[in-house]
Amino acid sequence: MKIFRKISGCILIVLASIFSFSTVLALAKAILVDCVREINNNTAQGIGYLFGTLIMGTLFVLLIIYMFKSGFRLVRTKPVVQDSIDDIGVL
């Protein structure tokens, strides 16, 4: 079961890194190219497109952060608590 957790954690981390790279590129293109073109048309659609892009980008970033946290939590090993020499024999 431990190896399954490690493998699934690594898969989540790899997927999150791929998604983060693609999200950064897609948001940069959407904001710098598409939103500027829509706003230059002087319509209400440009502002709506900008806010929609920012809201969905924020949701994707939150999803990616959750994937990273879950992946690192699955990969992390739990520390083994060891008794110190002073605690042995003490009731």
Q: Could you tell me the end-to-end alpha-carbon distance of the chain, in angstroms, rounded to an integer?
A: 35
Q: Is the pLDDT of residue 90 over 80?
A: no
Q: What does the alpha-carbon distance between residue 55 and residue 75 come to, in Å, rounded to a whole number? A: 30
Q: According to the model, what pLDDT value does residue 37 have? A: 79
Q: Is the pLDDT of residue 1 over 90?
A: no
Q: Is the pLDDT of residue 91 over 70?
A: no
* pTM: predicted TM-score of the whole model, two decimal places: 0.74
Count of Cβ atoms closer than 10 Å to residue 35 Cβ: 19
Condensed to tens digits (0 to 9), the pLDDT of residues 35-83 reads 777 777 777 777 888 888 889 989 999 999 999 999 999 998 777 677 6
Please tell me whether residue 28 adopts helix, strand or coil conformation: helix
